[in-house]
Amino acid sequence: METNSQFLLVLGGILLLGLATDLLGRRTFLPRITLLLIFGVIIGKEGFDLIPTFFSDRFELIAEITLLMVGFLLGGMLTRETLQQSGRKILSISISAALITTACVTTGLLLFGTPVEIALLLGCIASATAPAATVATVAESEHKGPFSRLLLAIVALDDAWGLILFSLAIALVSVINGNQGEGSFLLSAFREIFGAIVLGLLIGLPAAYLTGRIKQGQPMLTEALGIVFLCGGLALWLDVSFLIATMVMGATIANLARHHEYPFHAIEGVEWPLMAIFFLLAGASLEISAIQNIGLIGFIYIVFRSIGKIVGANIGARMCGADQTIRRWMGAALLPQAGAAMGMALVAANQFPEYRQTLLTVVISTTIFFEIIGPIFTRKAIRVAEQDLY
């Protein structure tokens, strides 16, 4: 009984803190995501250690539920109309930003004497961004227009490009080290991506027709959450990317469900409370002391990843004829880095134990930096770009 009371007290406190953070974020230059992470650090193990273990132990489940909704809503951005208007921009900027960031970080690390294997792995890990932080930063912005829509569509494809590049890096490092099985890893990555696409289509196609029928034109929150959780559960069970699966499902429903205006618009109403819990627990789990061990490699990673995102997005925007505002600000909006990079680092560390310490130290410490600092640049970019475009 005491555990139940503590659970409810912590949950209520976190939600109210999220509300206070929302208010504070509107009155300061810091976005509420950064504030939530900072407050999470204060009440977590690095601070006053106020979050019980039985609550923080549920962080992985909360993170997966939150990312399922984020993936679904991002997929909903990839409508036929958006792709017709901005499809060339979305592909050009997303691919260019991913490739040039990888090239910049890899080259920068090699120039400073980092072993080629570590440079390749960290370079590909650097291509990943943070869908949840980007979605939440856009949601809190008062300026929601063409730049924000383009940003969300680009982020929606980021997970796929990052996974492909990382899989190629794993295979190449395996060849350099003389290990066997590099082909099987590429096959596994292909299965993870392709399997997620197939799963998203298999659930999205019937859902596009069946949803929103109980009350004409109004998809219900119950059915929305039902298919999102069903898709996520099957993706985890089948060991395919649940983020890509829910994105594909969301895009399928958004394009085919013509009998209702927005695919599961009701989900947006419960997204922020889960986001608040997710980012507070993320902050509570951050080990700020890891930044002390960042070293020269971590510093190079931060500098060259920032350059890569800004330059890569700028080149991609030029290639597709995007206007000057998008060229100038899209790269800064893509700076957040979070769970995807951590996941890649763990996979690489398990695949190559000899590089484990370096990979995890660099990625953990730089993720803390970009997770706190990145949303500040994203909010600044959105505000300035939307004002320029209107």
User: Residue 271: its pLDDT value, please?
Assistant: 72
User: Residue 71: its pLDDT value, please?
Assistant: 85
- Percentage above 90 pLDDT, the chain: 22
**Assessment of whether the complete model's pTM goes beyond 0.75:** yes
Spatial distance between the Cα atoms of 232 and 247, rounded to a whole number of angstroms: 11
Of the spans 16-25, 137-146, 257-266, 307-316, which averages the highest pLDDT?
307-316
List the single range of 138-142, 172-176, 206-210 with lowest mean pLDDT: 138-142
Would you say residue 262 has pLDDT above 70? no
Architecture of domain 2-14+30-389: Up-down Bundle (1.20)
Would you say residue 247 has pLDDT above 80? yes
180 vs 58, residue with greater confidence: 58
Of the spans 35-49, 201-215, 245-259, 297-311, which averages the highest pLDDT?
297-311
User: What's the whole-number average pLDDT of the chain?
Assistant: 82
Would you say residue 180 has pLDDT above 70? no
User: Residue 67: its pLDDT value, please?
Assistant: 84
pLDDT band for position 36 (cuts 50, 70, 90): confident
pLDDT band for position 1 (cuts 50, 70, 90): very low
Task: Give tens-digit pLDDT for 86-99.
Answer: 788 989 999 999 99
Spatial distance between the Cα atoms of 252 and 282, rounded to a whole number of angstroms: 31
R_g of the chain computed on alpha carbons: 20
How does DSSP classify residue 327? H
How does DSSP classify residue 288? G
Spatial distance between the Cα atoms of 281 and 191, rounded to a whole number of angstroms: 31
Nearest Cα residue to 101 out of 330, 359, 296? 330
pLDDT band for position 30 (cuts 50, 70, 90): confident
User: Residue 268: its pLDDT value, please?
Assistant: 65
